[in-house]
Structure 1
Amino acid sequence: MNDDDAFEGTSPESGQRPVGELRQLPLDFEALYLGHQEFFHAFAEIHLGGRRTAEEVVHRVFQDILATWGQLLRKGDLEQQTLAVLTRHVQARLVYDRRDPAYLFDGPIHEAARACASSWS
């Protein structure tokens, strides 16, 4: 998220807040975002294979979390619930792209598996 993400997209004529006025985010949500965004991006990038796609997905993850923030707080176990939201979004993107997680064919896990397989032959 960046500053542009917190702007309302309404016009003064609509009777809602004017364009460019910042939304007031709950402080506990901001704390969650600041404390988890790096991990969420790394997790998504490892699975999706690219920073840009990961950023798009994580942006939607935090929008989803914010949209259901009150429910998440009432249910408790916030950490587990937010990780479930992240996992759902990443898996949905993999299904949409019709591909396996990137770590299966690129990166250290793939290299270790290849080395192990070649040692057996």
Structure 2
Amino acid sequence: MALTHSKEQKKPKLKAGSRVSVRNKVKREDIVNEKEEPQVLSVTFPANIRADNHIRNELSALLNLGIEKNMKALLNHLIETEKSSLDDSQITRLEKMVSILEEKDFMSKSLKNG
């Protein structure tokens, strides 16, 4: 017996019943408001930044000068200072990249905890 159908055997034809009708139509605009800012998915966890001893020493010296109270605050201060020198297009690009990285962190943490 062959694995394929012979030409003599015909498959029964499918019969179409009543057509499917849509009761409630929804537009994309009803669900997604593109004018709204996207929801920021955020999760916070400790992370390490690799740097050599020279960079660590300079950061410690800036802390000793009293620029900020701790390393986290100092790094945030340095980031904000650098951001203030960016033009609008660079700030937009930076915000998009940060948003993508924040979403990645959220998703990776959710998958580990889920």
With the shorter chain as reference, the TM-score category is under 0.3
Which one has more relative contact order, counting CA pairs under 8 Å at least 6 apart?
Answer: 2
TM-score w.r.t. length of structure 1: 0.25
Q: Which has the larger radius of gyration?
A: 2
